[in-house]
A and B are shown apart, each in its own frame.
Chain A
Amino acid sequence: MSQTQSNASRMDGPGYSRRSFLRNGVAMAGGMAAFVAALRPLAELGEGALPSMDEFLQKHYKEMNEQEMQAALARIEAKVKERWDVDAEVRDVRPRDGVEFVYALNLSRCIGCRKCVHACVAENNQSRAPEIQYIRVLEMPTGTLDIEQGDHDYDHPTVPDAGHYYMPIQCHQCADPPCTKVCPVEATWTEDDGITVVDYDWCIGCRYCEAACPYFARRFNFAEPEIAAEELNTQMSYLSNRPRSKGVMEKCTFCLHRTREGRQPACLEVCPVGARQFGNVRDPESSVSQILETKRVFVLKEDVGTLPRFFYYFDERYPRSGETAVEEG
C-alpha cells in the first residue's frame, strides 16, 4: 500500500477535517436511526406471531415420526388453551384402507338455504372476521350450466327462487389436482383416500395454489383468524380443522376428522333436503357408488382435466313445487 493511498483512507489524512467527520457520522447515525425506527411496528408483534424454536424446526407432516407428531399435537393443544382458554383434543387422523371418498350432489334437491356453508364454518373453526367460507352456493338460472352466470350474493326472502337452481361448490378433492402440482414446498398433497390436504405448519403462503385452482376452492388467511371461544369446535385434527394462523392456505377437507372415522361430513348432516351424498366409492353398496351407476352425473370444468371427486346430477321428474301456505323450517 503506497503512502498516498493510506492517507486517503486514514481518518486523520489531509482531506478529512473534524467537522467533516462529525457531519458524516451524524448523517450515518440519522440513517441508522431512521432504519431502526422504520421497524417500529414490529414491536407490536403478538406473542405467538413468531414461531418458537420447536415450531421452526417442525418437520413436514410426511416426515414426522410418531413422537414428533405427538409433540406437534401437544403444541397445538397448548396454543389453543393459551389463546381461548379451552381444552381441545387434536388428533392425527389417518386414512382408512380401501377407502376412496366421493361426494355427490343432487341439483334437483338443493334449495340454496346455505346451511351447509355455515355448518362447515362452525365445524372447521374458520375465521369469522375476516370471514372464510369453504362452500360457495351459486344461484344458477335454469337452462345453463355455465357457472359464470351464477349469482353468489342472492338474498331472497325465501329460497328456492323461481327459475333458478342452486349449486354449492367446495373443494372437489380432484384426482389430478392442479393445486398440488404447483406448490413449491409440497405443503399440499393428495392423501390415499383422495382428500387433498394442507399442512398448515409447512405452507409459506405464496398463494400459487389459489391461483391454480379452477373451482375457487382454496382460501387464504389474509389476517389472523378470529373465532370466539364459544364458537370453537374442540374436536380437531392436524390436517383439517385445528386453528390456522395468518398467512397460510386452507380449504375443505371433506371433514376428514369425521369422515376418516366413519362419520358424515358436517355439510351433509345439516342439509335439510338431503341433496348431499357421501361415501366410499370402492364399496359398490355405498350410496355414491349407486349414484355414479344410475344417475346422470357430471363434473364441473371437465375440460380442464382435474378429475374431481365431486359429482353433480339432476333427477327431477317434474318441477319442484313452488310457494305454499304452510310455513316451516
Chain B
Amino acid sequence: MKEYFRFLWRCFRLSLVGDWRYMTWMTVLTVISLLGLNAYAKQFVLGLATTGMTDQVSWGMYIANFTFLVGMAAAAVMLVIPVYVYRNRELHDLVIFGELLAVASICMCLAFIVVDMGRPDRMLHLFERFHFPVSILTWDVIVLNGYLLLNLHICGYLIYCKYRKRTPSRSFYIPFVFLAIVWAISIHTVTAFLYVGLGGRPFWNSAIIAPRFLASAFAAGPAFLILALGVIDRFTRYEVPARAMDTLRRIVTVSLIINLFMLGSEVFTELYADSAHSVSLKYLLFGLHGYDALVPWIWTAIVLESLALLCFLTPLGHQRTAMMIACTAIVFGIWVEKGMGLIIPAFVPSPLGEVVEYVPTLNEALVCFGIWAFGLLLFTIFVRITIPVLSGRLTFDREYDPNEDLEPAAAASETLSGQAARG
C-alpha cells in the first residue's frame, strides 16, 4: 500500500518535469484551463444566461462537446478488439494509450455535464431519487461512471504491475477488458438514445442516430489516437510500431465510409420526400427562412471528411504528414458534424416552429476550451507517466532520469541547459 502511494507521488513529481516543449505545452494548457475555470465561476454566479442558450435552443456547446467526447471515449475500445480478440500482441501497449484517452475523455464529459447543469449544487439529488430505468439520463450516469472506473482499473492495474515488475494476473484484467469492449459500445448507444427517445424532436427521433454516433466515434477516436501517437512517436523515445498506425488508419477509413454513407442516407430520406419533418435538416444544410448560421460549418465538415477519406483511400494516406493532416480534418469535421450538425439543428425550429439561432458566447467558449485543455492536460500527464513505465525505465527499484525518455538531440540540449541552470 505504501508502495502504491510512493508510486503516485513519483507520478506526480514526474508530471512536473520534462523538456521545454513539455513545460510550454503544460503551461499553455494550464493557463487555458484556468481561463475556463474563471469563466465557469462567472457562469456559476450569474447563471446560464452567460451562455448563448435560450429556451428555444436549450442545449448548446456543452452538450455538443459532451456528445463528441463520449464518442472519443468509446473509440478506445477499437484498439482493444484487435489486441485481445485477435491476439495481436504487438499492439498490446497501445491499448493502454487508448484507454487513457478514454479516461481523459470521460473526465471531460463529466466536466461538460457539470457546467451545463443549472444547479450543480444539487447533484446529490441524483443519489436520493434516481429515476432509473425510465430516464435514459440515469442510464447515461451509470454507464459513463462505470466506464470510467473500468478503464481506470484496467490501466491502473497494468501500469502498476509493470512498475512493480510483476506479471499482471489475467483474471484481474482480462474479464474487465472484454467487459470494456461491450461497455464502450453501450456508452455511446445510451448517449444516442438520450436523443433518439424524444418523440417531440423529429430530427432526433430516427433509428439511424445510434449507428451514426458509433460510426463517427470510431472514425474520430482512432484519428485522435493517431494524432496522439504521432506526437509521442516524434517527441519521445517511445517508438510507435507502424503496424499500429496502420491498423488505426484502416479502422478510421472504414468508419468514415460508413459515417458518410449514413449521412448521405439521412439527407436523401429527408429531402426526397420533402415533408415538413425535414425542416431541421434543411436548416442545417441550406438555412431556413433566411437563418443560415450553421450552413458554412456543416459543408466544411462534409468536405473535410470527404477529402480525408479520399486521402486514406489512396497511397497518400500512408505518408505520415498527410495522415496527420487528414486525421486533424477528420477530428474537426466529426466534431462539427456531431456537435453543430446533430445537437443544434434539433432545436431549430423550436417545437412550435420558431427559429431562434444559437451563437455561443465568449464565456461559454472559454469554458469549453478550458475543459478541453484540462482533458488534454490529464491525457498528457497519463502519457508522461505511462511511457517511462512501459519502457521499463520507471520501476519501483530504480531512480529515474527524465532525460532518458527524450530524443537524443533533445536530451543533449536538455542536459546542457539543465547543467547551465543548475550550475
Contact = CB atoms under 8 A, between A and B. Distances in A.
Q: Do the two chains belong together in a single complex?
A: yes
Interface of A: 2, 4-5, 7-9, 17, 19-20, 24, 31, 34-35, 38-42, 44-45, 49-51, 56, 59-60, 130, 136, 138, 146-150, 152, 169, 178, 181-187, 202-208, 210-216, 218-224, 245-249, 301, 304-306
Contact of B117 (A39, A41, A205, A305): A205
B129 A202 contact: yes
B350 interface: yes
Contacts of B34: 34-35, 38
Contact of A150 (B6, B136, B352): B352
Contacts of A184: 126, 130-131, 135, 137-138, 141
Interface string B130-154: 1100111110010000000000000
B198 A206 contact: no
B70 interface: no
Nearest to B34: A38
Contacts of B47: 221-224, 246-247
A41 B137 contact: no
B55 A246 contact: no
B45 interface: yes
A211 B121 contact: no
A1 to B, nearest CB: 8
Contacts, number: 200
Contacts of A56: 121
Contacts of A146: 276, 353
B44 A216 contact: no
Given A7-B399, A220-B118, A212 B137 contact: no
A220 B55 contact: yes
Contacts of B422: 17, 19-20
B119 A216 contact: no
A2 B125 CA distance: 50
A60 B399 CA distance: 56
B307 interface: no
A148 B202 CA distance: 13
Contacts of B46: 223-224
Nearest to A217: B351
A60 to B, nearest CB: 5
B18 to A, nearest CB: 13
A15 to B, nearest CB: 8
Given A207-B58, A246-B48, 16 more contacts: A8-B399, A39-B38, A50-B121, A130-B49, A148-B276, A149-B353, A150-B353, A178-B200, A181-B135, A185-B129, A204-B125, A205-B48, A206-B118, A208-B135, A216-B350, A222-B51
